Amino acid sequence: MQHPKPGQKQTPPRVVSKKAHPNPTTSDVAHWMAEEIERSAILVQVEAVAEIRRRFGSEFLYISDVNEWSIDRRVLAEFSSLTDPGIVWVTDLRGGYSCPRAHWRFRRKGDRSGRTQYENL
């Protein structure tokens, strides 16, 4: 980095954002999601959206009807096929993907049947 001349403003170096995967696929994103749950036991929707954008690109996301970023349905379908029914989607009692604390986690004793669980989030 060059030093500025007297009276000249110093500009920061230009940072070029690079995806972690050069040519990611829907399967890559779904596998990453499954690995995150195995690693952390939970995957929060808003955090997953941010990380997917950073690692794989916004082509795996879309703007929902409530004007929020969401994970592409093809990714979610692949993710669902990779994970057994032991992984559940947890959202607020009011429902929906727009709940900021909505997440995936391992099934717990006392969960209802089905992959969607409703809790007070």
pLDDT in tens, 44-94: 999 999 999 999 999 999 998 888 889 999 999 999 999 988 999 999 877
- Per the domain annotation, does 56 fall within a domain? yes
Q: What is the pTM of this model?
A: 0.78
Tally of domains in the chain: 1
Residue 70 lies in a domain: yes
Q: Is residue 112 part of a domain?
A: yes
Between residues 64 and 9, which one has the greater pLDDT? 64
Task: Write out the residue range of the structural domain in which residue 70 sits.
Answer: 26-119
102 part of a folded domain:
yes
In the prediction, which pLDDT does 15 show?
Answer: 33
DSSP 25: -
For position 4, what pLDDT does the model report?
46
Asked whether residue 10 is domain-assigned, the answer is no
Element (H, E) at 36: helix 26-40
Domain assignment present for residue 1? The answer is no
Predicted confidence (pLDDT) per residue in 18-45, tens digit: 456 679 999 999 999 999 999 999 999 9
The verdict on residue 21 lying in a domain is no
Within-domain flag for 46: yes
- Tell me the HSE value of 42 on the side-chain side, using a 13 A CA sphere: 9
